[in-house]
Structure 1
């Protein structure tokens, strides 16, 4: 079975930017990663990978994170 092609650097850079934005918004709302994880049901390791830009979350996951923080989805992907 062939291995999937890794994303190009542009995609990786944007994924990291989204993770950084999620972290900024979370911190601005005085929430810890654990707070968000408890509200979303996402395990801490997976959530941390999202904020670091090492994981590509599904849209449903981004919606759950936005709801847990209490912001519109657009605030996370600006």
Structure 2
């Protein structure tokens, strides 16, 4: 059975989260590669999350927030 694409509002919220991750990463002068290494992920995963092409696992959001030393709530508010 094919999966149903998420509604537009979900994609929009993913974009907001991705934008917040990108802004925090750039503020700390980190590349995607550097953030990926700190978070224990690969660069492609960071890119997909920042570009809203993927729905990140909660565990990965925890890893990213920890790597950026910011509360998870700052990413998903």
TM-score by length of 1: 0.91
Aligned-residue Cα RMSD (Å) equals: 0.9
Question: Higher RCO, 1 or 2 (CA under 8 Å, sep at least 6)?
Answer: 1
Number of residue pairs matched by the alignment: 77
Cα distance in 2 for residues equivalent to 1:77 and 1:12: 13
Cα distance in 1 for residues equivalent to 2:3 and 2:27: 37
Give ranges in structure 2 of 5+ residues lacking alignment: none
TM-score by length of 2: 0.92
Give ranges in structure 1 of 5+ residues lacking alignment: none
Q: Runs of 4 or more off by more than 4 Å in structure 1?
A: none
